[in-house]
Amino acid sequence: MWRAAGTRPLAAFSGTSLGDRLRSSLPVSTHARVAAVGVALLAMAALVAAIVLGSGALKSLLALPQGRIVAPANNQNFGWIGRAITQCEAEAARSVDTLYFLVIPVLAVDGDQRAWLAKSNGTVGASVLLLGSQDTLDGLRAGSLRLVRRPFNFAILEPSATRVYQWKPALGVHKFAIRDAKAVATFKPGFEIPAGGDTQWAAGGAITREAGTCYWTGALMRG
């Protein structure tokens, strides 16, 4: 039994116990009302807990954090994106059990996504080309690419367990994470374009996870 230092256990009270004395001071009808209210509160608490835990909302909130990378007021040559990548890599090196991703969503200013196909690292369905960070930054600085201003859904497929990790709709440059990701040996990235549509997965084989790594990509989306 836990009790605060300096207090006396209930057995030290003389005569009837403290609980008996409190109960004896209440009329019978009051006892019934108190008991009924107590049962109702417990039932409500159990129902709320079942809804939250059963839906996975609390688990997802704790296990799948995400955050938007906001451009500073003095945005110069998109250097803030390079700094965000460096910070993500440093955070991943400190927290090796967490799997990190950084997504830079972009559009081709001229609307010609095919012109970037030769530079891409892969495709996601017919909607997204995956670009390296340098090609993405060079395109933004040259004005041939621009940041996407519409929401998208990002997801990860773990093929070995057929398990899907999906985050809430994101807007702009975004960092995503999976806490306690030791069980994720390989993965495939996926996108819902537009948000709420069907998830499309990256073509080709799965990526082998390396602990302590932040996985970042430019995501060239169809206009």
- d(Cα 216, Cα 69) in Å, to the nearest integer? 13
Share of the chain above pLDDT 70, in %: 70
Nearest to 189 by CA among 135, 127, 140: 127
pTM (two decimals): 0.71
What are 45-62's pLDDT values in tens digits? 444 333 333 434 434 445
List the structure tokens of 142: 């040259």
**Whether 64 contacts 154, CB under 8 Å:** no
Every domain of the chain and the residues it spans: 18-55, 66-221
Share of the chain above pLDDT 90, in %: 56
Helix (H) or strand (E) holding 9: none
Angle at CA of residue 168, ends 189 and 104, nearest 5°: 50
What are 17-36's pLDDT values in tens digits? 323 322 233 344 444 444 44
Q: State the pLDDT confidence band at 109, using cuts at 50, 70 and 90.
A: very high
Q: State the pLDDT confidence band at 196, using cuts at 50, 70 and 90.
A: low
Q: What is the mean pLDDT of residues 96-122?
A: 95
Burial status of residue 184 (CB atoms within 10 A of its CB: 0-12, 13-18, 19 or more): middle
Residue 75 has a pLDDT of 77
Angle at CA of residue 32, ends 31 and 33, nearest 5°: 95
Highest-scoring range by mean pLDDT, 34-48, 149-163, 184-198: 149-163
Q: What is the mean pLDDT of residues 83-87?
A: 95
